[in-house]
Amino acid sequence: MVVSTPPYLPAMAPHRYPMISMPEAQDIVLSRVPAALPPEEVLFTQAVGRLLAADVVARAPHPPFAASVMDGYAVRAADCPGTLVVTAAARAAGPPPLLPVPETTRQAFQTYLR
C-alpha cells in the first residue's frame, strides 16, 4: 500500500513500530495475559480488588414489597389542572433537575433504582 503525503505537510520518517491488524494486536495482548485462575470462595471483606467469577443473585427481592420507581413530579401550580409534558427526570444519584420548572411541563423524581 502506497500512501502519499499532501504537499503542504512535511514528509514523516518511517515509524519505528509499523501498524498491525486488529487480530494481530489482540493475539499479542492475549498471549501475554496469564491463564484465568480457578474460582474460589472468599469472605465479603476479602473480596476487595477481586473479580467475580459468576453473577451475584439476591436470595429474595428487595424491597420485599411493590415499590414505585417514580416518587413524584415537580409541577407549577399555575399549570394545573391540564396536560403537562415531562421535560426532565431526576434519577437516583443523578444530577438535579431543572428548577424552576418551565411552564406547562413536569419533572419526574426518582429515588429508587430497580
Structural Rg of the chain based on CA atoms: 28
pLDDT value of residue 98: 61
Residue 43: other Cβ atoms inside 10 A: 6
pLDDT value of residue 114: 39
Whole-prediction pTM = 0.29
C-alpha cell, 52: 467475580
pLDDT value of residue 37: 83
Q: Tens digits of per-residue pLDDT, 13-30? A: 777 888 889 999 999 999
Cβ neighbors of 89 (< 8 A, separation 6 or more) are 97, 107, 108, 109, 110
Q: Tens digits of per-residue pLDDT, 52-77? A: 888 888 888 877 877 766 667 777 77
Ranges of each domain in the chain? 66-114
State the residue for C-alpha cell 465479603: 44
